[in-house]
Amino acid sequence: MRVSMLALCAAVATAAAVAADAAPPAPKPAPYRAPRTAEGQPDLQGIWTNTALTFLQRPPIFKGLIATDKEEAMMLAGFKSMVGDLLNPAPIDPKTPAPPVVKEAPQSDYLEMDLRLARIDGQPRTSWIVEPADGRLPYTEAAKKARAADAAAPEKFDNPEDRDTQERCLTAIGSPEGPPMMNSGFNGNYRIIQTHDYVAIQVEMNHDVRMIRMTDRTHQPAALQPWLGDSVGWWEGDTLVVETTNLNPKGHIYSLGGGFPYSATTKVTERFTRTAKDQILYEFSVDDPATFTKVWKAQMPWRAAKGPIYEYACHEGNYSLPNILAGARAMDRAAAAAKAPPAS
C-alpha cells in the first residue's frame, strides 16, 4: 500500500501532538532560596557592588524602561566621549617624558565601573526609577522653582560651612552611602555584616558604616539628623526592609543622571532581597510630599564583588577645601583689581 507524503506528514504531526498532550509539563525551576545565617535569617553578607551606566533618571535617548541594543550602544559611546582618556587601559610608559598636562590614571586603577547598563532579570535598565513610568523625578512646582533659583544663585565661597558636603568629606561623592545608595564610578563596593541586633553596611567610599537597628523600630527624636539618617529594619519573608527617617537636608542626594534634595520629613524605605548566589535586588521608595507629588520607586541590582574593601581616606579640612577657598579669594582680588581706577 502506498501512502502519500502529505498523509504521512499529517500522521506524524498528529502523533506528536498526542504525545505532547500526554506528556507532563516540564517542571519549573525552584525559586532561589538564600542561604541562612546561624539565626535562620537570609544571609546577605559579603562584598557587593552597584556600579553600572544606568542613571537614577531616564535619559531622553531611551524610550522605555528596557533598553534596546542600539540604545545601549549609544549610551556607551556617549560615556566614552565624555570621559575620554580615563577609559584608556594602556599602562603609562615610564620612559616617556612627562606631557605638558598630566593625564589621569588609567581605567583599571581609577574607573571601577561596569561599563554597560545594569541588568535585572537579564534586561538592561534605562533608569533606576520604575515609578513614575517615565523614569523621571516627580517634583512639585514649588520644588522646581526652588531648584531653579538655587541653580541661578552665585556660589558661596566665604564660609567653609557653605560649601558642599562632598567637598568637606562629610558625605561621599555621588552619594553611595545614601540612603538611597547610589552607584558611583569608583570605590563602589559595600560589605554587609549581620548580627542579631544590627545589620551593618560598610560603604567603601568615605568609609561610612550604616548601622540598621533590628530589635527596635522606634526612630530617634526628629531633632537628631545624622548624615545617614536613622535606620531601623525588619524581615518580611526573605526580604530585609529598612526604613530611614531624620535625614539631614544639607546632605541631599547626588547621582548619575541628576540627584535630588529632600526635606527633613522624608522617609526612605529600602528592600534587600537575595535573588541569586551573586546578586541582591535593591529596591527603594522615597516619600517626601514637600518635594515630590507622589511616592516614587526604584530598583537596582547589586552584584557580588571580589573585594577587598579599600581604605578611602577623606577628611574635612584636607587640601581640597582650603584650595577651593583660596582660589575664590584670588579671584576676588583679581576682580577688585580690574575695577580699581588706574593709578594717576
The pLDDT of residue 144: 94
- Provide the 3-class DSSP secondary structure of residue 342: coil
The pLDDT of residue 28: 73
Is residue 304 domain-shared with residue 211, that is, in the same domain? Answer: yes
- CB of 228 closer than 8 Å to CB of 206: no
Q: Is residue 186 part of a domain?
A: yes
- Provide the 3-class DSSP secondary structure of residue 17: helix
Nearest residue to 120 via CA among 276, 238, 235: 276
Is residue 254 domain-shared with residue 148, that is, in the same domain? Answer: yes
Is residue 150 domain-shared with residue 283, that is, in the same domain? Answer: yes
Is residue 262 domain-shared with residue 293, that is, in the same domain? Answer: yes
Is residue 144 domain-shared with residue 276, that is, in the same domain? Answer: yes
Q: What is the pLDDT of residues 70-107, one digit of tens each?
A: 999 888 887 776 655 444 555 555 666 554 443 443 44
Q: What is the pLDDT of residues 249-275, one digit of tens each?
A: 888 888 877 789 999 999 999 999 999
Cell of 256: 548619575
Q: Is residue 21 part of a domain?
A: no
The pLDDT of residue 14: 52
Is residue 174 domain-shared with residue 115, that is, in the same domain? Answer: no
Q: Is residue 240 part of a domain?
A: yes
Cell of 240: 530585609
Is residue 281 domain-shared with residue 192, that is, in the same domain? Answer: yes
DSSP secondary structure code for residue 30 in this structure: P
Cα gap 142→145, rounded to integer Å:
5
Which helix H or strand E contains 270, and what residues bound it? strand 267-276
Is residue 264 domain-shared with residue 173, that is, in the same domain? Answer: yes
Q: Is residue 132 part of a domain?
A: no
Domain that holds residue 251: 139-325
The pLDDT of residue 88: 52
Is residue 149 domain-shared with residue 242, that is, in the same domain? Answer: yes
Place of cell 588609567: 106
Is residue 179 domain-shared with residue 152, that is, in the same domain? Answer: yes
Is residue 172 domain-shared with residue 303, that is, in the same domain? Answer: yes
Cell of 323: 584650595
Q: Which residues contact 57 (CB under 8 A, 6 or more apart)?
A: 127, 129, 135, 136, 137, 257, 258
Q: Is residue 17 part of a domain?
A: no
Cα gap 76→217, rounded to integer Å:
43
Is residue 250 domain-shared with residue 107, that is, in the same domain? Answer: no
Beta bridge partners of 296: 286
The pLDDT of residue 199: 98
DSSP secondary structure code for residue 107 in this structure: G
Q: Is residue 47 part of a domain?
A: no
Q: Is residue 133 part of a domain?
A: no
Half-sphere CA count of 115, side-chain side, radius 13 A: 16
Q: Is residue 342 part of a domain?
A: no
Residues in the chain with pLDDT values less than 70: 1-24, 26, 81-112, 344
Nearest residue to 300 via CA among 117, 39, 102: 117
Angle among Cα 62, 86, 76 to the nearest 5 degrees reads 20
- CB of 285 closer than 8 Å to CB of 297: yes
- Cβ-in-10-Å burial (0-12, 13-18, 19+) of 54 comes to buried
The pLDDT of residue 179: 95
Nearest residue to 124 via CA among 196, 66, 168: 66
Domain count, the chain: 2
3-state secondary structure string across 50-62? CCCCCECCCCCCC
Q: For the stretch 152-174, what's the b/e string if a residue is b when 16 or more beta carbons lie within 10 angstroms of its beta carbon?
A: eeeeebeeeeebbbbbbbbbbbb
